[in-house]
Amino acid sequence: MEPGFWHERWHKQQIGFHQQDINPFLVKYWSTLALRGNEQVFVPLCGKSLDMCYLAEKGHDLLGCELSELAVRQFFEENGLEYQQNAFGELQAFSSEQMTLLQGDLFALKAEQLASVGAFYDRAALIAWPEEMRLQYAAKLATLLPRGCCGLLVTLEYPQDMLKGPPFSVTQEWIREHMSQWFEVTLLEQADVLADNPRFIAKEVPWLNESAYLLKRK
């Protein structure tokens, strides 16, 4: 998707992808990463997700990346957090005690800037991209993350011809075909979540599955 698409969505507050609650798979499966608890966690396309607050409460420092400056500022304001703004390479860093959100193009990040990252969490990034850009994103994520870094990936799967993304449908087959070259992939769970997503029901999408994967950078 072009940057203008996302800027417009945030400007108009057309942010159905923003969850009002912490993702259940995050609560259920974060412990499977077997982390010490103080690792820095990278959250690509983080928006203003409350999932970052959950991870901070677990003792992690958060390094998010988000294109929309409006989303970044809303995250700090809505959570009552004071922040400082500084340049971070080609991006801008908005930082509080445990949170640093990088505002700008994820593809402008360099691996050395994420050298201290020990884990990652992707609920809204992979499913935000159409096919060609999804491949580019997966390759970029792999180049950014240190070897041995593990993470939790959450995806959606549904009949793509029934609804125009984003979010886009990403199948288990796609994950294994296109991400296993960089990551060890373990499917943790797949659950039917259609009843919890009125937008999909309104569009008469017949089924909607949410999947959680454990990924480890090879």
Annotated binding site: 10, 45, 66, 123
**Cα–Cα separations (whole angstroms), residue 217 to 26, 60, 118, 128, 212:** 19, 19, 11, 21, 16
- At residue 5, the 3 state secondary structure works out as helix
- Phi and psi, residue 127, nearest 5°: -80, -5
**Residue 79: exposure state from Cβ atoms within 10 A (0-12, 13-18, ≥19):** middle
Could you tell me which residues are annotated as the binding site for S-adenosyl-L-methionine? 10, 45, 66, 123
Q: In angstroms, rounded to a whole number, what is the distance separating the alpha carbons of residues 86 and 214?
A: 33
